[in-house]
């Protein structure tokens, strides 16, 4: 089976590698030649969008947001103009649910089956193939694509019809963002009160406050490590989609709006490429106090 991956960024590269490692014939396309070069040694063959669309049985898109997905799929000379009937599109980008339904319906008119499958877990889980994958689409197609998805993720769940996968991803991003903010706020309280936040982390991580988010992002805050596993700017994109969806369906999102403003402030301060654990720097700015030990070099090196 020939699989094409359109989008070889931070997440797309390791996902393509894992598919090739599983024995699939994988073709990759990206606007950045460096990304193509990076996966060449892993048996991911450099290609173009059109070559992938014309020759691959399954096409995976891993793109920044709704406009990019719609451009690749629906624009003139895009996927719908080149892919043969019966081609399967798996959109693993995190986009607005209504946009995903629009793309799904456009594909259906051309005889192209589509499954949405946004992911969570960031680069580390993309590398080791343990992403959480939240799917929306037809059950039969989900079952057919399950072996491919399990090459990239350990938790692969069909959440409902088209739009359900991206709705689930938005809920995930709300919970992650609020959790990161709460961890930073709690750690800063400890620091300002004269208690070592490293000790606080060690004391509470096994209790009810403990979480995957705390375990992954707490040490980054405490070591001033802002290297991106998931960039602030990408989380802003997701929360913007969440707020728009919440407004559309009548679901208030006051916590989401608050964290969004915190992220926007960090973006305005030039930290958009930092990992979202850099929400801690919002509290550092408010208090004038570094959460991390001043001897930690850390920082974003991009």
Domains, the chain, with CATH or none: 2-160 (3.40.50.720), 167-287 (1.10.1040.10)
State yes or no: is 169 an active-site residue: yes
Confidence of residue 43 (pLDDT cuts 50, 70, 90): very high
The model's pLDDT over 182-226, given as tens digits with 9 standing for 90+, comes to: 999 999 999 999 999 999 999 999 999 999 999 999 999 999 999
- Average the pLDDT over 23-35 and give the result: 97
Pairing mode, if any, of strands 88-91 and 58-61?
parallel
User: Percent of the chain having pLDDT more than 70?
Assistant: 97
Task: Report the candidate in 45, 68, 61, 55 with the shortest Cα–Cα distance to residue 7.
Answer: 61
Which residue is catalytic, options 13, 70, 125, 169?
Answer: 169
In angstroms, rounded to a whole number, what is the distance separating the alpha carbons of residues 194 and 147?
Answer: 51
CA distances from 129 to 16, 32, 126 (A): 10, 23, 5
User: Which string of b and e fits 243-254 if b means at least 16 CB within 10 Å?
Assistant: bebbeeeeeebe
């Amino acid at each position: 089976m020939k699989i094409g991956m359109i989008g070889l960024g931070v997440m797309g590269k390791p996902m393509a590698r894992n598919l090739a490692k599983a024995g699939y014939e994988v073709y990759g396309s990206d606007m950045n030649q460096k990304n193509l070069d990076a996966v060449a040694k892993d048996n991911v063959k450099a290609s173009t969008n059109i070559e992938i669309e014309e020759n691959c049985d399954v096409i995976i898109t891993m793109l920044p947001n709704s406009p990019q997905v719609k451009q690749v799929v629906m624009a003139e000379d895009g996927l719908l103009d080149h892919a043969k009937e019966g081609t399967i599109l798996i959109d693993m980008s995190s986009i607005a649910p209504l946009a995903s339904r629009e793309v799904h319906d456009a594909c259906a008119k051309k005889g192209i089956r589509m499954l949405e499958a946004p992911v969570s877990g960031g680069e580390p889980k993309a590398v080791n193939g343990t992403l959480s994958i939240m799917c929306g689409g037809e059950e039969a197609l989900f079952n057919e694509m399950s072996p491919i998805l399990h090459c990239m993720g350990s938790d692969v769940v069909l959440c409902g019809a088209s739009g359900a996968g991206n709705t689930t991803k938005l809920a995930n991003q709300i919970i992650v963002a609020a959790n990161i903010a709460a961890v930073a706020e709690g750690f800063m309280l400890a620091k300002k009160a004269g208690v070592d936040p490293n000790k606080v982390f060690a004391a509470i991580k096994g209790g009810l406050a403990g979480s995957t988010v705390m375990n992954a992002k707490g040490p980054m805050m405490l070591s001033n490590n802002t290297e991106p596993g998931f960039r602030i700017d990408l989380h802003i994109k997701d929360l913007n989609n969440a707020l728009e969806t919440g407004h559309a369906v009548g679901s208030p999102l006051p916590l989401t709006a608050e964290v969004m403003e915190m992220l926007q402030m960090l973006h305005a301060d030039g930290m958009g490429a930092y990992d979202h654990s850099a929400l801690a720097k919002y509290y550092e700015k408010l208090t004038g106090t570094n959460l991390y030990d001043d001897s930690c070099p850390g920082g974003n090196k991009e």
